[in-house]
Structure 1
Amino acid sequence: MYQTFKNTITKIVSRKFIFKYEETLRSWYALFYTGNNYQCNVCSKKLRKFITLSNNESLCPNCGSVKRNRRLWSLLKTEFLFPQASILDFSPSRCLYRKLKKTANINYYSTDLSGDFIADHQFDITNLEIANNTLDLVICYHILEHINNDIRAIKELIRVMKPGAKALIQTPFKEGEIYEDYTFVSNEDRLKHFGQEDHVRIYSVVGLKERLQSCGFLVEIRENFSVDNKYCYDRNEKIIVITKPLN
């Protein structure tokens, strides 16, 4: 039902219209899911159930958050947000963009090159138009797997982050080694080998950790999270927290 509703809306109206009125449209649709079994921690909506998508993702009908958005927001509000923090968010989910834009006493900047997300800037992650030692926090979720020169992107992150600043990184992960082959340039090949038409590799946790360390970051792997079924988190989620050394 949800996918049919979404497909119908996207055929009728423009993306600009959807971005502008999405909150209202979702609030109407979410009335069918009102209940007390679950709750979205991003929008605080109490739900009878989350929407189950074809990829087994759990979507909030009210704000559009998925599992990783809800986990990320939990981490941000309990650990990583502080007054006057300067935050750069790459291709943010719309639900968290709206949440962070409304958060008082932080300096929030969003960026996206694709046009698929709401953003204030169009920075190239491999050549950021940001001064050295500027940012307190970077959110880099499902970005690096799209970037051919990921080492250059990582070096740009360490350049623009303040000493002691942190970044939250997530990508799709596999076991073993990083899998990349730059001879795969067609959408068909990339879909077949990397799982999505615009991906250029699949990281392993260990492989990405080593690349981040090679560029100077301190690296912490977050996994084995406790699961609160109320919020429909992902039990198997992995998040990499990196820190720019003080010296």
Structure 2
Amino acid sequence: MITFRRASKAAIKWASLATLKLRAAMGAKARYNCTACGQNVVGFFRYGDNARWGCPACGASPRQRLVAYLLDSGVLKVPAGGRVLHIAPNEAGLVKRFSAQTTDYVPADLYPEVYALKGVVRLDLMQFDAPENYDIIYASHVMEHVDDDAQVLANMFAALKPGGEAWLIVPLWDRPTEDGHGGMSQRERERRFGQWDHIRQYGPDFADRIRNAGFALDLIAASGIDASLRERHALDDVVFRARKL
């Protein structure tokens, strides 16, 4: 669904990207670096309220750059020979890293046909039944789309091997989580939750929902990284590292 809000965000994004490309062509110094693709860039393009959102070279978002940094620095680790399930595998930099770190990489989505990436399997998280099958499950901006997040978290817990981890990222605001309902129009969802296909908007209490599914939980926030690195790589967001003990 195309709305004025979405069209406006897209127009601002492309204008910002064009400005960055012009600055680069005129010889502006590439003082910043994208952790996802490794390119040095003159800046990051605006998207929505974030003035330093996307990499002009590869399009990586702040959350993708954060996870790439955490993988490269060893804060997040794929165990040797581990099996990785990557839900909604649309981040090229992370697909590359996961594929390099394990030979058992499983990209999956409810709609695999929308991906150019080969080998994406069809997976409905609501019907997910794969007991103790994965070492890592990565899902970024997925949980706000599912009908029943408690069921999906329970399914993820069951699908992880003992000692396995789910790395989850969701859109966050500073208020309690607000759930929608099936009768909401697309326009109302966009107004309340920021996007027409979002079922809810998460707050800090998302952590409680994760713990209620049986996980131990660590929060890895970009705000905890050295300020000079955050600035150079334009890192943002929070990874909810849910551990099955």
Establish whether TM, by shorter chain, passes 0.5: yes
Deviation readout 1:176-198 (Å, 9 max, x if unpaired):
32211315421011111211111
Q: Which runs of 5+ in 2 are unaligned?
A: 1-11
Residues 140 and 98 (structure 1), Cα distance of their counterparts in 2 relative to 1, 3 Å cut:
closer
Residue in structure 2 matched with residue 14 of structure 1 by the alignment: none
Q: Which runs of 5+ in 1 are unaligned?
A: 7-27
| Higher RCO (Cα < 8 Å, 6 or more apart) | 2
Calculate the TM-score normalised by the size of structure 1: 0.78
Residues 1:163 and 2:162 aligned together: yes
Q: In 2, are the aligned partners of 1:91 and 1:117 still within 8 Å (CA)?
A: no
Matches within 5 A, 1:90-169: 90-100=87-97, 102-114=99-111, 115-118=113-116, 120-128=120-128, 131-169=130-168
**Which amino acid letter does the alignment assign opposite residue 153 of structure 1?**
V
CA apart distance, 1:97: 4.8
Q: Which moved more, 1:96-105 or 1:57-66?
A: 96-105
Question: Which 4+ stretches in 1 moved above 6 angstroms?
Answer: 28-31
CA apart distance, 1:54: 4.4
Secondary structure of 2:100's counterpart equals coil
Residues 118 and 132 (structure 1), Cα distance of their counterparts in 2 relative to 1, 3 Å cut:
farther
Residues 49 and 178 (structure 1), Cα distance of their counterparts in 2 relative to 1, 3 Å cut:
closer
**Which amino acid letter does the alignment assign opposite residue 194 of structure 2?**
G
Counterpart-to-counterpart distance in 1, 2:209 and 2:161:
20
Residue in structure 1 matched with residue 244 of structure 2 by the alignment: 244
Residue in structure 2 matched with residue 73 of structure 1 by the alignment: 68
Deviation readout 1:64-118 (Å, 9 max, x if unpaired):
2111101011112313123212111111233235423651544211112245545
Residue in structure 2 matched with residue 233 of structure 1 by the alignment: 235
Residue in structure 2 matched with residue 20 of structure 1 by the alignment: none
Residues 1:83 and 2:80 aligned together: yes
Aligned Cα RMSD in Å?
A: 2.8
Percent identity between the aligned chains? 20
Residues 184 and 5 (structure 1), Cα distance of their counterparts in 2 relative to 1, 3 Å cut:
same
Deviation readout 1:2-59 (Å, 9 max, x if unpaired):
72799xxxxxxxxxxxxxxxxxxxxx99974884311111211112222233442421
Residues 183 and 87 (structure 1), Cα distance of their counterparts in 2 relative to 1, 3 Å cut:
closer
Residue in structure 2 matched with residue 63 of structure 1 by the alignment: 58
**Which amino acid letter does the alignment assign opposite residue 211 of structure 1?**
R
Q: In 1, are the aligned partners of 2:147 and 2:199 still within 8 Å (CA)?
A: yes
Counterpart-to-counterpart distance in 2, 1:218 and 1:122:
28
Aligned length in residues: 220
CA apart distance, 1:219: 1.4
Matches within 5 A, 1:45-60: 45-56=39-50, 57-60=52-55
Counterpart-to-counterpart distance in 2, 1:154 and 1:96:
25
Deviation readout 1:133-189 (Å, 9 max, x if unpaired):
111111111111111111111111011100111111111122332211315421011
Q: In 2, are the aligned partners of 1:86 and 1:108 still within 8 Å (CA)?
A: yes
